[in-house]
């Protein structure tokens, strides 16, 4: 895509940031707990009931009462989303393909932050990520007459999800079920771009996760038995494969 598309995608990422920060704050709760609406420090209601009330956090990223930071650091989500969408726009070959990859990115960014915060990937986000990505890639295939490419994408998504399921059964402490659900979306997107892209993204994911784990162990910031959020590395590997 051309420069204006890249700039527009980056601007859309910045604009989506406040909403995504609210989603991260809302969903960053342990498994089994209800979504968060109140400040964790002073219990002030931050996100009222009703969809319009959940559109954004306070602009400064602080609780209006106790001034505690709530949700991700200010601008972290905006910058990450803008950079991710800009990379995708630079590599996309059509508007429909851009829409499919951008949808996955917009859902994936809050998933990464949530996984870091509470070590889980909520079904409320992983399901829309997969359905939306597959639906938009289907539209891409129909408009470009690339049915074989769509079949490859679906097969890649199922295959990568199966790989993560096997890893989960072999070592539940290192891989979660949510990682497999996210892998279905990522595998579908990377499979659409090609088998080589899928392999590159998968290898980049495991390489980055492995290096980070070794670093934590070397610095004595973690033990071998500690659980590490794997979702961010799945997404980092995917973005790396798309970028190169």
3-state secondary structure of 186: helix
At residue 57, the pLDDT reads 76
Residue 182, pLDDT score: 96
Contact 183, 234 (CB under 8 A): yes
What is the pLDDT at residue 89?
96
Per-residue confidence (pLDDT) for residue 198, from 0 to 100: 97
Digit-by-digit pLDDT tens for the chain (244 residues) are 788 899 999 999 999 988 899 899 999 999 889 998 899 899 988 887 665 545 677 767 788 899 888 888 888 999 999 999 999 999 999 999 999 999 999 999 999 999 999 999 999 999 999 999 999 999 999 998 888 999 999 999 999 999 999 999 988 877 889 999 999 999 999 999 999 999 999 999 999 999 998 998 888 777 776 778 999 999 999 999 999 8
Spans of all domains in the chain: 1-91, 94-244
SS3 45: strand
pLDDT value, residue 31: 86
Phi/psi of residue 201, each to 5°?
A: -65, -40
How high is the pLDDT of residue 51?
A: 56
Q: Containing H/E element for 141?
A: helix 123-144
| Per-residue exposure over 190-208, b if at least 16 CB sit within 10 Å of its own CB, e if not | bbbbeeebbebbbebbeeb
| pLDDT attached to residue 230 | 92
How far is it, in rounded angstroms, from Cα 126 to Cα 59? 27
Determine how many CB atoms are found less than 10 A away from the CB of residue 218: 9
Q: Which of 105, 77, 110 is nearest to 90 (CA)?
A: 105
Residue 94: phi, psi to the nearest 5? -155, 165
């Amino acid at each position: 895509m051309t420069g204006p598309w890249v700039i527009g995608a980056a601007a859309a990422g910045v604009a989506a940031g406040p909403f995504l920060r609210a989603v991260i704050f809302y969903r960053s709760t342990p498994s089994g707990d209800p979504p968060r609406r109140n400040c964790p420090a002073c219990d002030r209601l931050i996100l009222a009931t009703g969809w319009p009330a959940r559109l954004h956090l306070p602009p400064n990223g602080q609780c209006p009462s106790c001034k505690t930071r709530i949700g991700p650091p200010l601008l972290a989500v905006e910058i990450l989303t803008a950079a991710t969408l800009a990379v995708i726009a630079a590599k996309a070959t059509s508007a429909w393909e851009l829409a499919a990859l951008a949808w996955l990115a917009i859902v994936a960014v809050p998933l990464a932050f949530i996984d870091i915060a509470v070590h889980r990937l909520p079904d409320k986000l992983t399901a829309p990520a997969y359905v939306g990505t597959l639906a938009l890639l289907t539209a891409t295939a129909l408009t470009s007459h690339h049915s074989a490419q769509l079949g490859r994408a679906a097969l890649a998504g199922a295959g990568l999800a199966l790989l993560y399921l096997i890893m989960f059964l072999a070592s539940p402490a290192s891989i979660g079920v949510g990682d497999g659900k996210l892998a279905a979306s990522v595998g579908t997107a990377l499979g659409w771009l090609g088998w080589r892209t899928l392999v590159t993204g998968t290898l980049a994911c495991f390489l980055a996760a492995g290096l980070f784990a070794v670093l934590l162990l070397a610095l004595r910031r973690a033990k071998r038995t500690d659980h590490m959020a794997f979702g961010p590395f799945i997404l980092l590997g995917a973005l790396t494969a798309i970028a190169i």
